[in-house]
Amino acid sequence: EYLNLVSEKRVDILGSHGIKATGLWEVINNNHEVVMVWATSVENWVQFQKNRDTTRGLDNSGMVDERITKWESISATYITGGDTHIMTPFPGTVYGPNDWENADLNDWLATNAPEEYREQNPTGSE
């Protein structure tokens, strides 16, 4: 029932913010648990959070989207707990670069990220 609501409502809401559902699963033998995988850029995710906070009156740097808080009210009747993990794509995967040599941190940074972030070298390559 919950995943049906996700596919009917949340997929469109998040999709309009540049966040795409790539997998929605029920967990076998654990009927109160689901796994949802969404793909987006860090920039889109941060903007979505700003929009959420602006809609809730906690910030003014985003755009109001009442669908976000309406969905949160609906989902709160189903959700008993959970985790959110932000991940970066591994090279050679659907959303990742072809290999580590092509992996560039700047591809994942927002256009207005601080310059010191751009100078980091997380892969160790020159």
The 10s digit of each residue's pLDDT in 45-59 is: 999 999 999 999 999
Nearest to 42 by CA among 19, 12, 72: 19
Same domain, 81 and 92: no
Mean pLDDT of all residues in 32-42: 87
pLDDT at position 115 is: 76
Question: How far is it, in rounded angstroms, from Cα 69 to Cα 75?
Answer: 10
Q: What is the DSSP letter of 83?
A: -
Kindly report the number of other CB atoms within 10 A of residue 47's CB atom: 19
Tokens of 64: 């109001």
Q: What pLDDT band is residue 69 in, cutting at 50, 70 and 90?
A: very high
Residue 73 sits in which domain range?
Answer: 2-87
Same domain, 58 and 7: yes
pLDDT at position 113 is: 72
If one counts the domains in the chain, the total is: 2
Predicted confidence (pLDDT) at residue 32 exceeds the cutoff of 90: no
Kindly report the number of other CB atoms within 10 A of residue 55's CB atom: 19
pLDDT at position 57 is: 97
CA distances from 113 to 65, 67, 70 (A): 25, 28, 31
Across all residues in the chain, what is the average pLDDT? 84
pLDDT at position 100 is: 65
pTM of the predicted model, to two decimals? 0.71
Same domain, 103 and 69: no
Predicted confidence (pLDDT) at residue 62 exceeds the cutoff of 70: yes
Same domain, 100 and 123: yes
Residue 60: which residues within 8 A CB-CB, separation 6 or more?
Answer: 54
Same domain, 125 and 111: yes
DSSP 37-65: EEE--HHHHHHHHHHHHHHTTS-SSS---
At 101, is the secondary structure helix, strand, or coil? helix
